[in-house]
Amino acid sequence: MFRSVLFGTGLALMAMVPAHAEAVTEFTLENGLDVVVIEDHRSPAVVHMLWYKVGAADEMPGKSGIAHLLEHLMFKGTEIRSPGEFSQIVEANGGNDNAFTSWDYTGYFQRIAADRLPLMMEMEADRMTNLQLTDELTAPEVSVVLEERNQRTDSNPDALFREQASAAQYLNHPYGRPVIGWRHEVEALTAEDALAFYRRFYVPNNAILIVAGDVTPDEVRSLAETYYGGLVPNPDLAERDRVIEPPQIAARRLVFEDPRIAQPYVVRSYLAPERNSGDQEQAAALSLLGNLLGDGPATSVLGRKLQFDTEVALYTAAYYAGTSLDATTFNLTVVPVDGVSLADAEAALDDVLRQFMIEGVDEDHLARLKRQYAADAIYSMDDAQGLARRYGDALTSGLTVADVQAWPEVIQAVTPEQIMAAAEMVFQDRNSVTGWLRAPIAAETEVTQ
Amino acid sequence: MTRFLTTLAFLAATTAPAFADVDIQEVETPAGFTAWLVEEPSIPFVSLEIWFRGGTSVDAPGKRGAVNLMTALLEEGSGDLDARGFAEARDDLAASFGFRASDDTVTVSARFLSETTDDAVALLKQAITAPSMDPVAVERVRAQVLAGLRSDAEDPGAIASQTFAKLAFGDHPYGSDGDGTLDSVAALTREDLLAAHAGAMAQDRIYIGAAGDISPEKLAEVIDTLLADLPETGAPLPGPAPLLLTGDVDVVPFETPQSVIQFAQPGMARDDPDFFAAYVVNQIFSGGGFGARLMTEVREKRGLTYGIYAYLAQKDQSELLVGQASTANERAAETVAVIREEWAKMQADGPTQAELDQAKTYLTGAYPLRFDGNDSLARIVVGMQIDGLSIDYIATRNDKVEAVTLEDARRVAGELLDPDALSFVIVGQPEGLDLGN
């Protein structure tokens, strides 16, 4: 149960780190529904999550936003429940519920007293097959989504730029489309579009049930068989075999000007491989590379060189999100101080990357990072819902429970050589998108006059 | 099958969930501090919250932003460590420390593995009691704060909040941004920051909550180590902040596709005998959940917004009922009209029995879900102390919600909700508004 992790630092710190102290059980129902149970008996509450292995990257061209619109419409009622009744019943039982959509998944969850789990399962199973939709119900929800887009994206120049940058990063893959959808396509979505998507993808053999909290695997198995066991799978459901990127042979450069950008900055992304089942070493090396370059202003390579040693930047960041079904990105940001141009900030960033390739990994820094990953195994046990999301994210991104549990050890085993090899592989100009964000030059001139 | 399940749903909705109590221990330290502790040894780490009352509202005259900048500098070097040395020592321990300033508090949030308690506390003590305020660090962090202020000036949500604060609170500290202004932050000196530290982080205003793998005896030792070197008394707290709302609609023109709408009226004090009735009415009327009246009318029926809510804001020196929504510019007038109409309707008629019953079941059932981890527990028990609640509050809170009758709820809805005092700030290019209100 407990695994010893020894650090060569002289500190007794964490001589005993529970490797996977969270108690996790998995099984599959006959209709193909995967079930994961995470036990946490500290308080008599439960998180019930149903994840569908379908997201915005599975939409048909021209229908961007349909995965997310359907997520909203799933609260609009079934044969036995009126619009809004689902959430009303959850609230009347003292629970909270919500849903989320990404490129690779769509998830629905409730947090509630553990003795209400049967009711949650009954309602979630009901809306997997009995959703009722009309154009009258759909039209106001399309307006809600357009307001959501206004709020999250159109009112936010950073978010507007991220859409453009993703579109430039992916030449062929649907990760280049925004999850919320392009406005003109969202405006045209109908109830029939949503139902077609629903019928095809909302089936038990395309879903993962995650229950975390004060439950036992036996209880969950019995309840899942009762409520979800009778649902009919879709035998024609194909593997998610999405289009792949052609070789990227031209570095892309974007300039985005918006008067709302008070603080100009440079961002760079590189196409990067994702975590793959049974083969997570390179992704672990990229994760640590991201931490080495960007784990904080006083400790990271970018922060030290650009914020401390030279005062080029106000803020720097590096980030790699490896949990993804298909190719992901490695991201860098530099926000220059007043008086440093975007060209100089970008040049300084490139200098730091070049120096890093020569100087290599600071082994003390790497040891500290590994210690933090080991401690995360303890801290993360405090948050059953966070663990449930971690598993759901992984399991809808082509990984297994075993991969999630192996990850801390894979991280601990990464060598400086592997990190440098990963850096060599990922920092390829031809795979990159570089963006400059700034207010229109004319507007800046007006301000200074 | 279906009928059976519907019956099950009904039964479930009428029996209250059973929850264990939260066991809070009061810890008195030898040096005279009081802390509340939830001892929970099953996961080997500790969450510790130390809050100082006053926050950015104790900025000295002309020194707006000093407390905020001081707080941001606590992790930028202290004692014999520079910023880098401090960060490395913290990461060596796999600890995390957070320092934040708000209108009413400066908060210190720490999380450390229980086996590293002594080392983590020694490091945190330096940051709390002996921050270097090294000139190079001051300039670096000052530039970050100034950049944040410039970004806020282009952010419709931030513009709305600050416009509202000025209209509601005028010259009281609540009426201006605690981060300061471009001019005030630019003028702050190292001496100002040291004075802000002594003024905001003193022994006479400390509240402490802890949860996790630590004994009461050890916690007492930790607290005395951390805090005994702080000055005994700090800067004076601000006086009451009378509300200056006039019931108007103020528009701040801003080029954006969507108007940000903030609205507020006077709220209710936490110790008012009608507070729980007001809290339940607020849940029914404008809680963030689906089924609340504003959410139903503005989002669900009309699709005017992605989200709308209002809540009873408790500040140390003032109480507000404050809310927010965003809508397309061409639909802003309709959104304001619907909010006003619902406000008047709720004031006149109050909630229905069914709404009251559902709100009570929700509030009483959801309450225990908050106590779901050491971080949450530490924050909750420190918040209870600063709000002046008793140590047995958690066990009695649901009874107070249950005790609200339909008569109470209707009376309090009538007394609290005030359509004439309901004031709006709209940032954007709203169309069709009648500003002759």
Identity of the residue in B20, B291, B302 whose CB atom sits nearest the CB atom of A87: B291
What are the residues facing B320 on neighbouring strands?
Answer: B266, B313
**How far, CA to CA in Å, does B327 sit from each of B208, B426, B430?**
41, 10, 9
The CA distance from A79 to A29, in Å, is 25
What mean pLDDT do residues B239-261 have? 94
Q: pLDDT tens digits for B68-80?
A: 999 999 999 998 9
| DSSP assignments along B151-193, one per residue | HHTT-HHHHHHHHHHHHHHTTSGGGS-TT--HHHHHH--HHHH
**CATH 3.30.830.10 domain residues, chain B:** 13-227, 249-428
Which are the catalytic amino acids of A? 71
**Touching check for A49 and chain B: CB below 8 Å?**
no
Best of A155, A223, A291, A371 to substitute, by most chain B Cβ atoms within 10 angstroms, is A155
Q: Distance between CA B180 and CA B272 in Å, rounded?
A: 33
B13-227: CATH topology: Cytochrome Bc1 Complex; Chain A, domain 1 (3.30.830)
- Closest chain A residue to B93, measured at CA: A13
B-chain CB neighbours of A148 within 8 Å are: 306
Quickly name the fold that domain B249-428 has: Cytochrome Bc1 Complex; Chain A, domain 1 (3.30.830)
Look at B113 and A13 and tell me if their CB atoms are within 8 Å: yes
- Within 8 A of B8 by CB-CB distance, chain A residues are 118-119, 122
* Nearest by CB: A44 against B2, B20, B140: B20
Instruction: Tell whether A266 lies on the interface with B, counting CB pairs under 8 A.
Output: no
Which chain B residues touch A84 with a CB distance below 8 Å?
Answer: 290-291, 296, 300
DSSP alpha helices (H): ranges in B189-274?
A: 190-200, 216-227
Task: Among B42, B143, B289, select the one facing A91 at the smallest CB separation.
Answer: B289
- Closest residue on chain B to A381 (Cα): B43
Closest CB to B327 among A147, A259, A379: A147
Average pLDDT for B4-10? 35
Residues 316-335 of chain B with CB under 8 A from chain A are 326-328
Mean pLDDT for the stretch of residues B408-430: 97
Q: Which residues contact B197 (CB under 8 A, 6 or more apart)?
A: B70, B131, B133
Partner residue opposite B116 with nearest CB, options A13, A93, A96: A13
* H or E segment to which residue B289 belongs: none
Residue in B45, B289, B305 closest to A147 by CB: B305
pLDDT of residue A21: 56
Task: Check CB contact under 8 Å for B365 and A112.
Answer: yes
How far apart, in whole angstroms, are the C-alpha atoms of residue B131 and residue B196? 12
Sort out which chain B residues have CB atoms less than 8 A from A335's CB and list them.
147
Residue B154, amino acid: E
pLDDT at B4 over 80: no
**How far is the alpha carbon of A281 from chain B, nearest alpha carbon, in Å?**
23
- Does any CB of chain A come closer than 8 Å to the CB of residue B5? yes
**What per-residue string of b and e applies to A251-278 under the rule 16 or more CB within 10 Å gives b?**
ebeeebbbbbbbbbbbbbbbbbbbbbee
Give the up-direction half-sphere exposure of residue B41: CA atoms within 13 A in the CB hemisphere: 4
B44 at the A interface (CB within 8 A)?
yes
Q: List CB contacts (< 8 A) between A304 and chain B.
A: 84
Query: Nearest-CA residue of chain B relative to A227?
Result: B5
pLDDT for the residue B52: 98
Alpha-carbon distance A271 to A428, whole Å? 9
Which residue, among B92, B141, B426, would best test binding to A if mutated, counting the most A CBs under 10 Å from its CB?
Answer: B92
Q: What is the pLDDT of residue B300?
A: 87
Q: If you measure CA to CA, which chain A residue comes closest to B75?
A: A298
d(CA B177, CA B187): 16
Determine whether the interchain pair B13/A93 forms a contact, defined as Cβ–Cβ distance below 8 Å: yes
Inter-chain CB pairs, A–B, below 8 Å: 219
The confidence score (pLDDT) of residue B434 equals 73
Q: In terms of CA atoms, which chain A residue is nearest residue B356? A: A92
With an 8 Å Cβ cutoff, is B362 touching chain A? yes
Question: Which residues of chain A are within 8 Å of residue B21 when distances are taken between CB atoms?
Answer: none
- A80 interaction partners in chain B (CB closer than 8 Å): 2, 6
- Nearest CB to B303 within list A45, A144, A152: A144
Residue of B nearest to A148 (CA): B306
| Distance (Å, whole) CA B23 – CA B391 | 9
User: Is the Cα torsion angle B8, B9, B13, B14 positive or negative in sign?
Assistant: negative
B140 touches chain A (CB under 8 A): yes
The answer to whether the Cβ–Cβ distance between A84 and B6 falls below 8 Å is no
**B92 vs A335: CB contact, 8 Å cut-off?**
no
Q: Which of residues 126-185 of A touch B (CB under 8 A)?
A: 126, 139-148, 150-152, 154-155
| Residue A220 near residue A211, CB atoms below 8 Å | yes
Confidence tier at B233 by pLDDT (50, 70, 90): very high
pLDDT interval class at B20 (50, 70, 90) = low
pLDDT at A418: 98
Chain B residues closer than 8 Å to A295 by CB: 91
Contact A44 B45 (CB under 8 A): no
Q: Is B143 on the interface with A (CB under 8 A)?
A: yes
User: CB distance from A440 to chain B under 8 Å?
Assistant: no
| B260, amino acid identity | V
**B310 bridge partner residues:** B323
Tell if the CB–CB gap between A44 and B94 is shorter than 8 Å. no
Are A384 and B372 in contact (CB < 8 Å)? yes
Among A15, A140, A150, smallest CA distance to A76 is for A140
Query: Kind and range of the H or E element at B267?
Result: none
B256 and B404 in contact (C-beta within 8 Å)? no
Chain A contacts of B327, Cβ < 8 Å?
147
Helix axes A66-73, A191-201, angle to 10 degrees: 90
CA distance B282 to chain A (A): 15
Give the CA dihedral A384, A387, A389, A390, nearest 10 degrees: 180
Are A314 and B326 an interchain contact pair (Cβ–Cβ within 8 Å)?
A: no
| Tokens, residue B222 | 């930790």
Q: Would you write out chain A's pLDDT as a tens digit for each of its 449 residues?
A: 233 333 333 333 343 344 445 789 999 999 999 999 999 998 889 999 999 999 999 999 999 999 999 999 999 999 999 999 999 999 989 999 999 999 999 999 999 999 999 999 999 999 999 999 999 999 999 999 999 999 999 999 999 999 999 999 999 999 999 999 999 999 999 999 999 999 999 999 999 999 999 999 999 999 999 999 999 999 999 989 899 999 999 999 999 999 999 999 999 999 999 999 999 999 999 999 999 999 999 999 999 999 999 989 999 999 999 999 999 999 999 999 999 999 999 999 999 999 999 999 999 999 999 999 999 999 999 999 999 999 999 999 999 999 999 999 999 999 999 999 999 999 999 999 999 999 998 654 444 43
Candidates A379, A381, A448, partner chain B, best to mutate (most B CBs within 10 A): A379
Query: How is residue B402 written in tokens?
Result: 């249950």
Q: What whole-number distance in Å separates Cα of residue A156 and Cα of residue A148?
A: 12
Two tokens at B295? 């959410």
- The Cα A317–Cα B92 span in angstroms is 21
Mean pLDDT across chain B: 93
Q: Which residue in chain A is spatially nearest to B155 when comparing CA positions?
A: A260
B98 and A CB contact within 8 Å: no
Residues of chain B with Cβ-Cβ distance to A112 below 8 Å are: 17, 365, 369
Note the pLDDT tens digit of each residue in B97-110: 999 999 999 999 99
A397 and A240 Cβ atoms separated by less than 8 Å: no
CB contact under 8 Å between B258 and A111, yes or no, is no
Q: Does A82 touch chain B (CB under 8 A)?
A: no
